[in-house]
Every structure is written in C-alpha cells, then in structure tokens.
Amino acid sequence: MEQIYSNPATHCKLISTRKEAVDFLLNYSKSLEIHKVQGMTIENNLN
C-alpha cells in the first residue's frame, strides 16, 4: 500500500538540565530564608 502519510517531523527532543544547574537550585533553596516583618515579606539569601 502506498504510503500516503508523510513522516511526522520530530520536533520533540528529550533533554534534561545538567546536574550543575540542579545543584544550584538546591543550594539556592537551602540558602533562602523568608522573613515576614510588619506585613512585608523579605527574601534573604544566606551565604
């Protein structure tokens, strides 16, 4: 049977962000502290 359907374009490529980028996020999360002062929310990053 004749192929009447064209091959679907493969735009979908499965990738993952590198470990270093993920580690950065984890360190960011550990360093982030939220303080609520007089109705204001203050974000602070501890070194």
Partner 1 sequence: MHSTINDATLVRKYIGGDERAIEELINKHNQRLSSYIYSKVQDMSVTEDIFQDTFIKVISTLKRGAYNEEGKFLPWVMRIAHNLIIDHFRRNKRMPKYKGNKEFNIFSVLTDDKLNAEKQLIKDQIDQDLEVLIEQLPKDQRDVLIMRIYQDMSFNEIAENTEVSINTALGRMRYALINLRKIIEKNQIVLTN
Give the interface with partner 1 as residue ranges (CB under 8 A). Answer: 11-18, 21-22, 24-26, 28-30, 32, 34, 41, 43
**Closer residue to partner 1, CB minimum distance, 4 or 13:** 13
Amino acid (1-letter code) at residue 38: Q
Give the distance, in angstroms, between the CA of residue 26 and the centroid of all CA atoms in the same chain. 11
CB-based contacts of 44, cutoff 8 Å, min separation 6: 32, 33, 34, 35
Q: How far is the CB of 22 from partner 1 (least distance, A)?
A: 6
* Residue 12 CB, nearest approach to partner 1 (Å): 6
